[in-house]
Structure 1
Amino acid sequence: MERDGHPNSNTFAHSTSSLVQTYYQSSLAVETNRIKMNQNRHNLIQRGYYEQKHLSKKK
């Protein structure tokens, strides 16, 4: 429902709120992924560290 080239204010408010919601959800997902990646990297670093210690003991 466009009037004088302006979108209906109700639909504008609705689209804005859904945009904000989408942005919030996606940024939340990004943050969760970042935490998971940090944990994985930490685990990999620890594992590599222990493997190095273990290998140097074998020599």
Structure 2
Amino acid sequence: MNGIPMLFGMDEAIRLHGIAQTAAIQTGAKGHELDQVIALIFDVLVAQANRDENRPSLKLIEGTN
């Protein structure tokens, strides 16, 4: 993370990281590139979550193909 403060608890951080990880895996990235994509997505999610704690939370919905 690039010095963005997290204005929420560890549970929310874990949840956002899970969303970032799932999204990054779907890009097809592997290894170090996957870590970088996870970090980029996580940074965006943290910034969004910090904006307004009253917004509805993001939820991961798994579908079947």
What is the TM-score of this pair, normalised by structure 1? 0.37
Higher RCO, 1 or 2 (CA under 8 Å, sep at least 6)? Answer: 2
